[in-house]
Amino acid sequence: MFSRRHLALGLVALAAPLVSAGPCDIYAAGDTPCVAAHSTTRALYSAYSGSLYQVERGSDSTTIEIVPLSAGGVADAAAQDTFCANTTCLITIIYDQSGNGNHLTQAPPGGWDGPDVDGYDNLASAIGAPVTLGGQKAYGVFISPGTGYRIDDTTGVATGNEPEGLYAVVDGTHYNDACCYDYGNAETSNTDTGAGHMEAIYYGNCTDWGSGAGSGPWIMADLEDGLFSGLSAGVNTGDPSLSYRFVTAVVKGEADEWSIRGGNAASGTLSTFYSGPRPSGYTTMYKEGSIILGIGGDNSNSAQGTFYEGVLTSGYPSNATEDSVQANIVAAGYETASLVSGPALTVDSSISMRATTAGYTTRYIAHTGATVNTQVVDSSSSTALKEEASWTVRTGLGNSDCFSFESVDTPGSYIRHYDFVLQLDANDGTKQFFEDATFCPQAGLTTGTSLRSWSYPTRYFRHYDDILYAASNGGVQTFDATASFNADVSWAISSGFA
């Protein structure tokens, strides 16, 4: 791993003393030091060995600090796996490595309050975004709609018209067109205070304001009251649609110039998608210096995305500094890791799924019309009931690492979540349907298999009053009750009745 890192950095002719540097060492050498540095996957300074993030588990509400395996290294994901065995875990704090104490925690309510949002945003599952860095397992922050992190009272972050730089490494395939999957500088009041009060990286295919070439997703900048791809809130064809699994996204702004840059976080260099004057109405900025992750400045939280690492700097970084940071990111060696564990499922096989909660072990996941429920089924049941309780395993419609479950008696219809209730719906071919119908099996929390929603990884197939839900442990709905949660989400999977 070390020789590989030396080689990759050597190719871009980085000065020798920075060969083992982290991204924030590189920014510091360019006189644009990090003022906030967040990552759940690795240390962003070569000397950093403190906490990267905090995880809280459902079983007893205790927490653990996840630190790098060594100074400057990859997160100790194994410590999280041990701590979270047989329970659920949430990411409660993403620590600032810069020393400024700009730690991100659960975002408070803001000016925008969606239909199913009540108060604070949700926290991310600790296991929604597994990856490897140089072969070492780590976890990113999987932001589902309704999830967000924030700090309003920061130290050292640019305000007003002060220059700053930002980068983030995100999952280029996890996005939507809602507002707003952001990382960066926002309002301290959690409300929309007008044009120029934000300067954050946006990633997704929202077209309500600006957009880039093709159908997206794009890197844009959320400058408040608009996402910008360039000089105006229109189309900048120089801002390309991206299809990389790992994306490096860069936004920076100073008094008379701002830029969007980007590239493949797993190989190659950055390109400049815009560099030039600020849009009309944004020539003077009113940055407020709070930091957001996964939400808009007013807490608009309908978007989704995955965050692995990112920083805010003071000063306007040079292209050369950012190019060195990109080389460092590539050398870190991001690769995908499996979302699936536990007993294997075979694509195209028929399965039946039996409840394992004491008192319910004769009940199987079945459907009555569109309602997905549990019913008592055995070998003497009618053929119709056996078919209602049998499901064909398909490659996940929304993520090929996971699975979708097609009804045996209603081909073309799949189990999907809708308002966190499971239902049987015909596949309508949309991205939304694909994602709502994708579930990732893992070793059961008590036994067998638990089936985690890909798009809401805090949520699992759960029976509650004999109806199936996508339930989160201790969430706000009655079906999220902690009592019996682990047993209710653990299923014995066998070959199908039909």
Ligand X SMILES: *[C@@H]1O[C@H](CO)[C@@H](O)[C@H](O)[C@H]1NC(C)=O
What are the residues binding ligand X (CB under 6 A)? 86, 177, 205, 207, 215-216, 272, 275, 318-319, 431, 443-444, 446-447
Cα dist from 418 to 51, 64, 105, 293, 436, whole Å? 37, 33, 28, 25, 7
- Which of the following is catalytic: 121, 298, 406, 488? 298
Quote the least distance from Cβ 446 to ligand X, whole Å. Answer: 4
Return the H-helix or E-strand segment holding 312.
Answer: strand 305-313
Alpha carbon distance 365, 150 (integer Å):
39
Within 13 Å of residue 291, how many CA atoms lie on the same side as its CB?
27
User: Which one, 318 or 392, has the nearer CB to ligand X?
Assistant: 318
Quote the least distance from Cβ 243 to ligand X, whole Å. Answer: 11
Quote the least distance from Cβ 447 to ligand X, whole Å. Answer: 5
Instruction: Say if CB 40 and CB 52 are below 8 A apart.
Output: yes
Alpha carbon distance 143, 259 (integer Å):
25
**224 is an active site residue:** yes
User: Which one, 109 or 276, has the nearer CB to ligand X?
Assistant: 276
Alpha carbon distance 381, 387 (integer Å):
10
Quote the least distance from Cβ 491 to ligand X, whole Å. Answer: 11
- Which of the following is catalytic: 76, 182, 224, 480? 224
Alpha carbon distance 125, 473 (integer Å):
11
Q: Where are the alpha helices (DSSP H) in 18-122?
A: 23-29, 77-83
User: Which one, 293 or 445, has the nearer CB to ligand X?
Assistant: 445
**65 is an active site residue:** no
Instruction: Say if CB 343 and CB 318 are below 8 A apart.
Output: no
User: Which one, 319 or 484, has the nearer CB to ligand X?
Assistant: 319
Quote the least distance from Cβ 408 to ligand X, whole Å. Answer: 26
User: Which one, 272 or 477, has the nearer CB to ligand X?
Assistant: 272
DSSP state of 346: -
Assigned token pair, 18? 């920075």
Give the residue numbers marked as catalytic.
224, 298
